[in-house]
Amino acid sequence: MLKIITTSVKVSVIVATYSPTMLPHLKDCIRSLQNQSYEDIEIVCIVDGNQDYFQVIESEVDNIKLYLNERNLGLLLTRNRGVEIASGDVVAFIDDDAVADERWIEELVRMYEEFGAIAAGGKLKPLWIDKEPNWFPEEFYWMIGATHLGFPERVSEVRNTFGSNISFRRDVFMELGGFNPEMGGIKGTRILQGGETELCDRMRKRFGKSVMYNPEAIVYHKVFPRRLKIGFLSRRAFWQGYSKAVMERVSGEIEEERGFLKYLIGERIPARLKGILKGSGVDALKVTAMFYFTILVGIGYAYGKIKT
């Protein structure tokens, strides 16, 4: 039986990075971690197979544990290596293009201390680098790495939160064997998504507990203009569907996704249509995008069922 964490929680925050173009954003991320309201933190930054970038970070960023993969391993294996290196009771993950609210770790730790969590996550809010688009539906914020409409608005147990705002007890993570690299990264022409989803599904089956979601544990995820281009979003929607087919094969369960589809069809699309009837041009744009992306996810899922 797992011992419940109650006091003296040390948190290791793991940041994986690869491209030197991300250096200014990585610095923003690390600065936000160094200014947390919670003190017992170590920052573990792993450069995934880029020695020149590693040397730049080493010379320009202080007060972190910095490591280099000798070769490129991909995000999920890099995160697994970060957990092996970490010394904290809890391991938390954040992307190198995200910025943590100053109370992020404090609010995550509260889930372990007050609720006996074995994993905890929080809300990802979009941080628009350019202006916020009026056509992009909040129901599909998951496509830009943010928490979408339909997620709980209070502390709740959920299957998983997103990979840039999720944490685990280190002993639980290690016992599960970490992230499954089959569920993430670029595989040939495939862009797979869902490493945290598959891991949390295994965790629920093994320990009977899911992720405690705290909407007050906030991370701001940068949304660059290129990620709002139709081509990028179309590919992401297609491969999201494909990834769900892979996950269904690996774990045998995608009930959360089916529930979300019912939510879209039963609640959100009708609500948008009512807005259109009242003369809302914005709702017309958003419902069009919802239909388009839903169809692409469905096509990707069907393709994945054939290919996997």
What CATH number is associated with residue 220? 3.90.550.10
Tell me if 95 is assigned to some domain. Answer: yes
What pLDDT is stored for residue 1 in this prediction? 53
pLDDT of residue 8: 81
Segments of 89-199 assigned E as strands: 90-93, 98-100, 119-128, 156-158, 166-169, 185-187, 190-192
pLDDT digit string (tens) for 105-125?
A: 999 999 999 999 999 999 999
Report yes or no on 291 lying in a domain.
no
* Structural domain that includes position 80: 11-227
Please give the tally of structural domains in the chain. Answer: 1
Q: Where are the beta strands (DSSP E) in 101-162?
A: 119-128, 156-158
- Supply the pLDDT for residue 121: 98
User: Looking at residue 192, what is its pLDDT?
Assistant: 64
Which distant-in-sequence residues (6+ apart) come within 8 Å of 292 by Cβ?
A: none
Residues of the chain with pLDDT under 50: 187-190
Is residue 172 one of the residues assigned to a domain?
yes
Helices 281-307 and 269-277, packing angle to 10 deg: 150
Give percent above pLDDT 70 in the chain: 94
Cα(205)–Cα(192) distance, integer angstroms? 22
Domain for residue 125, yes or no? yes
| 175's tokens | 């016992």
In-domain check, residue 47: yes
Q: What DSSP string describes 69-98?
A: ESS---HHHHHHHHHHH--SSEEEE--TTE
pLDDT at 188: 41
Q: What is the pLDDT of residue 189?
A: 45
Residue 66 gets the label, from left (phi > 0), alpha (psi -120 to 50) or beta, of beta
Is 168 within the bounds of a domain?
yes
Answer yes or no: is 251 within a domain. Answer: no
Instruction: Give backbone dihedrals phi and psi of 227, rounded to 5 degrees, phi first.
Output: -85, 0
Would you say 49 and 67 are in contact if contact means Cβ atoms under 8 Å apart?
no
Residue 144: inside a domain, yes or no?
A: yes
Give the pLDDT score at 262: 93
Place of tokens 């809890």: 90
Which pTM was predicted?
0.92
Longest dimension (CA), the chain: 58
